[in-house]
């Protein structure tokens, strides 16, 4: 997704990778276990003595732990530098902010590009299929390893929001509050369809080599770029694309060929080619699969409210963007309705914007104001100064 | 696009390819000329003595001249068999219906898979870039060659609707009426973006070989299938995908792998793999390019109404589908507004349906009723029995 953010001023940052001891292998929904398990993470700020100011930030499909630090590959500010920083809604001077790379990812957490201890080779397609619940289970292990019993908040957008919902379902006793932004409680047929196009694009690339490309020292760059291009269209609203690019040309006049004539073509090509520098194609397959498998109601007898039955003590905030057609406001309303039915305390804000799904990365004052207000109220309720 | 139609009863059909004499080379918008020019076409019914009952049917991106006949490759009924036939809105017992394969196509009209007379090799990427106006210019030559001075109607959906608009702009004196279904007067940034994904998928396939795959006797099947999959999502509404497939599985339980677990995945894969049997990858590049270049207002000083300045004598019917997000109702309204501003007679119908863009191929009683009514009134106004 698009990252446009200004660099944050210096904040107390710790970057590390937690390697769990053998007894802490990750049990997966598929029945497999992952061992050894490593989770790459960053923290911003300091855990208070009472250990009550920790906030877990969950990333989206192609995000990573570099939420508020310079990305080591792109050199750009982290994906949520607009929100995390001194004076910003998630202020490291007040909160201890934890950001992890999801299991299955490619920025240090155990994923398909990791070495399989049994073979000494990268997993590739022998990596087990993972779920959103598996990602959350790994995060819960890390939070426990950091000595934190209760999170002041768990927060995330898009796939990050799905992790938030899963946290509320699986570990409600460890949460004081939960903020779910631009997400859905399940992947729709259209969501699955777009992901399947991306996966087929990757698997159609002969350099993919049935997932064993690392061994051959090649990468399915063209296929991954096409996958990214297709997905990227869904991150922007039709209006935002029209406003940003319209039918503006790259040069004076048409090329009468297949060069990028239109600025929107050039933009999309750039999104594709720059993505392959920072992302692993197999991780893309596994994480999109985890999203497609996500259906929180199905995990709870087909009734979404049941997922939140034990979360009555959690303060929820649900946000959506009016022009988001990937995970629409209607899907956020379904979540709110289920929270209400379960007797949970939930506030809901639909933010009017034409920026589409990616609005949660972008300059969106109402988002900032909502987060700022919610976290301030939450901190107050938790007795933080 | 999806073709679901029942076979039409036997109708008087002529199938042929018109090869224009050397003097009738096609001048193209790019400045190039196409020679020799061949246009493959079919006709249904009989031209009356007054030559006043001819209706030209224009096809969409992946359509062809087999509008109401069995498709020679797929063995399925033609893409508009639901509309063309005895007792149907376009009745060959009343009308002489002409259906052509567009220039740049791959079902017999001159296109990138045709032999370049100068080299004796298939054109491939040496084929000139074509426009919607070029397609219409070729159709006008054919209509003239068939001895028809005025068409009772020109009708088409999607890209077919764009040809209809172009006809009204370029040959208003040859039209009695024009029916534009689920189209737009220009390609939006999002439209261009989706096409660019498809083109990049094709060009990423090593078997594409810079367009010279025919010479190597290979085909970029995987790339073309991915292109089709991405485009196909845009032909259906989110609701239609959800209603048809939802999260229904192919088998009992998940595969925990990358097989097609969900029915929507299997459906999309089928759309991709079956498409490559009947369509040429380079034609896909050229025709999507023609669509992206389409901007009728830009051709007329930036004012869409100017395109219709000479079309005051033409009876227009504009139709849109409420759930079409490829070419939305708002874009049809823009067309109607321009027609009104130009002083043209235009009726407009938005059909309430959840089927999305592809509704014009599908069982949609209100579409049938509207077409039936419009053609009956048009025939009556033209003095046909």
pLDDT of res. A176 = 98
Mutation test of the interface with chain A: which of B189, B328, B329, choosing the one with the most A Cβ atoms within 10 A?
Answer: B189
Q: Which of residues 276-295 of A touch B (CB under 8 A)?
A: 285, 289, 292-293, 295
Judged by CB atoms closer than 8 Å, whether chains meet at B258 and A203 is answered as yes
CA atoms within 13 A on the CB side of A374: 29
- Which candidate from B186, B193, B260 shows the least CB-CB separation from A264? B193
pLDDT of res. B5 = 35
Judged by CB atoms closer than 8 Å, whether chains meet at B226 and A201 is answered as yes
ipTM for this model: 0.95
* φ/ψ bin of A211: left (φ > 0), alpha (ψ from -120 to 50), beta (otherwise): left
Q: Which of residues 352-381 of B touch A (CB under 8 A)?
A: none
Domain A13-188+295-381 belongs to what architecture?
Answer: 3-Layer(aba) Sandwich (3.40)
User: Is the CB of B206 inside 8 Å of chain A's CB atoms?
Assistant: yes
pLDDT of res. B24 = 80
User: Is the CB of A42 inside 8 Å of chain B's CB atoms?
Assistant: no
Taking the CA atoms of residue A8, residue A12, residue A15 and residue A16 in that order, the dihedral angle to the nearest 10 degrees is -160
Of A59, A4, A40, A2, whose CA–CA distance to A291 is shortest?
A59
What class is the B13-188+296-381 domain?
alpha beta
Residue B260: closest C-alpha in chain A? A196
Q: Is B158 a catalytic residue?
A: yes
- Which candidate from B190, B192, B238 shows the least CB-CB separation from A190? B238
Q: Which of residues 62-81 of B touch A (CB under 8 A)?
A: none
pLDDT of res. A235 = 98
Q: Is B232 a catalytic residue?
A: no
Tokens encoding B136: 């219409």
Contacts of A129 in chain B (CB under 8 A): 256-257
- Which candidate from B238, B254, B268 shows the least CB-CB separation from A293? B254
User: Is the CB of B104 inside 8 Å of chain A's CB atoms?
Assistant: no
Judged by CB atoms closer than 8 Å, whether chains meet at B197 and A230 is answered as yes
Of A22, A60, A16, whose CA–CA distance to A41 is shortest?
A16
Question: Are the C-beta atoms of B67 and B84 separated by less than 8 Å?
Answer: yes
Catalytic residue chosen out of the listed positions B324, B328, B332, B358: B324
Of B258, B243, B239, B41, whose CA–CA distance to B141 is shortest?
B41
Residue B190: closest C-alpha in chain A? A238
pLDDT of res. B9 = 53
Q: Which residues of A14-27 are buried (b: 16+ CB within 10 A; e: fewer)?
A: eeeebebeeebebe
For chain A, which residues score pLDDT lower than 50? 1-8
Same fold, B13-188+296-381 and B191-289: no
Assign 3-state DSSP to chain B and report helix, strand, coil percentages, each to 5: 40, 15, 45
User: Is the CB of A222 inside 8 Å of chain B's CB atoms?
Assistant: yes
Helix (H, G, I), strand (E, B) or coil at B220: coil
User: Is the CB of B264 inside 8 Å of chain A's CB atoms?
Assistant: yes
Judged by CB atoms closer than 8 Å, whether chains meet at A242 and B193 is answered as no
Question: Are the C-beta atoms of B232 and B274 separated by less than 8 Å?
Answer: no
Domains of chain A: which residue ranges? 13-188+295-381, 191-289
- Which candidate from B196, B247, B254 shows the least CB-CB separation from A268? B196
Catalytic residue chosen out of the listed positions B99, B158, B320, B332: B158
Q: Model's pTM, two decimal places?
A: 0.95
Residue B257: closest C-alpha in chain A? A129
C-beta atoms surrounding A170 within 10 Å: 19
Residue B234: closest C-alpha in chain A? A190
Residue B192 and residue B197: Cα distance in Å, rounded? 9
Mutation test of the interface with chain B: which of A187, A201, A327, choosing the one with the most B Cβ atoms within 10 A?
Answer: A201
Residue B194: closest C-alpha in chain A? A230
Q: Nearest CA of chain A to the CA of B243: how many Å?
A: 9
Beta bridge partners of A295: A186
Mean pLDDT by 10 residues, chain B (385 residues): 40 93 90 96 97 98 97 97 96 97 98 96 97 98 97 98 98 98 98 98 98 96 98 97 96 94 97 97 98 98 98 98 98 98 98 97 95 97 91
Q: Is A18 a catalytic residue?
A: no
Contacts of A223 in chain B (CB under 8 A): 204
Question: Are the C-beta atoms of A271 and A228 separated by less than 8 Å?
Answer: yes
- Options 1.10.10.60, 3.20.20.70, 1.10.1740.110, 2.40.10.120; which CATH number does B191-289 get? 1.10.1740.110
Centroid of chain to Cα B204:
26
**Does the N-terminal peptide bond of residue B381 adopt cis geometry, omega within 30 degrees of 0?**
no
Question: Are the C-beta atoms of B90 and B55 separated by less than 8 Å?
Answer: yes
Judged by CB atoms closer than 8 Å, whether chains meet at B192 and A265 is answered as yes
What is the biggest distance separating any 2 CA atoms in chain A, rounded to whole angstroms? 67
Contacts of B187 in chain A (CB under 8 A): 247
For A283-326, write each residue's pLDDT tens digit.
999 999 999 999 999 999 999 999 999 999 999 999 999 999 99
DSSP labels for B324-364?
Answer: -SSS-HHHHHHHHHHHHHTT-EEEEEEE--SS-GGGGGS--
Helix (H, G, I), strand (E, B) or coil at B160: helix
């Amino acid at each position: 997704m698009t990252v446009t953010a200004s660099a944050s001023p210096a904040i107390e940052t710790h970057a590390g990778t937690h390697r769990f001891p053998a007894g802490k292998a990750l049990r997966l929904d598929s029945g497999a276990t992952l061992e050894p398990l490593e989770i790459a993470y960053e923290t911003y700020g300091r855990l208070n003595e009472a250990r009550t100011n920790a906030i877990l930030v969950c990333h989206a499909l192609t995000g990573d732990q570099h939420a508020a630090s310079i990305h080591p590959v792109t050199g750009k500010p982290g994906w949520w530098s607009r929100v995390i920083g001194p004076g910003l809604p998630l202020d490291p001077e007040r909160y201890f902010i934890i950001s992890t790379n999801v299991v299955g990812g490619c920025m240090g957490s155990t994923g398909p590009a990791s070495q399989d201890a049994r073979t000494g080779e990268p997993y590739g397609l022998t990596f087990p299929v993972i779920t959103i619940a598996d990602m959350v289970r790994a995060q819960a292990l890390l939070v426990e390893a950091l000595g934190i019993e209760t999170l002041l908040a768990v927060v995330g957008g898009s796939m990050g929001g799905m992790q938030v919902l899963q946290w509320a379902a699986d570990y409600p006793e460890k949460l004081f509050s939960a903020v779910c932004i631009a997400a859905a409680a399940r992947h729709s047929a259209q969501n699955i369809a777009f992901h399947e196009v991306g996966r087929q694009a990757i698997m159609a690339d002969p350099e993919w080599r049935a997932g064993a490309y690392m061994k051959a020292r090649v990468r399915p760059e063209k296929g991954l770029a096409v996958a990214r291009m297709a997905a990227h269209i869904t991150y922007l609203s039709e209006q935002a694309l029209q406003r940003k690019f319209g039918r503006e040309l790259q040069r004076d006049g048409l090329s009468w060929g297949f060069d990028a004539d239109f600025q929107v073509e050039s933009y999309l090509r750039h999104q594709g080619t720059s993505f392959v520098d920072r992302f692993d194609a197999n991780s893309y397959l596994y994480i999109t699969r985890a999203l497609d498998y996500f259906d929180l109601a199905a995990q709870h007898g087909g009734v979404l409210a049941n997922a939140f039955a034990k979360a009555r003590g959690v303060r929820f905030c649900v946000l959506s963007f009016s022009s988001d057609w990937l995970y629409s406001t209607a899907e956020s309303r379904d979540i709110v309705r289920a929270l209400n039915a379960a007797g949970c305390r939930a506030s809901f804000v639909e933010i009017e914007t034409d920026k589409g799904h990616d609005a949660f990365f972008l300059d969106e004052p109402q988002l900032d104001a909502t987060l700022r207000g919610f976290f301030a109220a939450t901190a107050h309720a938790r007795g933080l100064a």
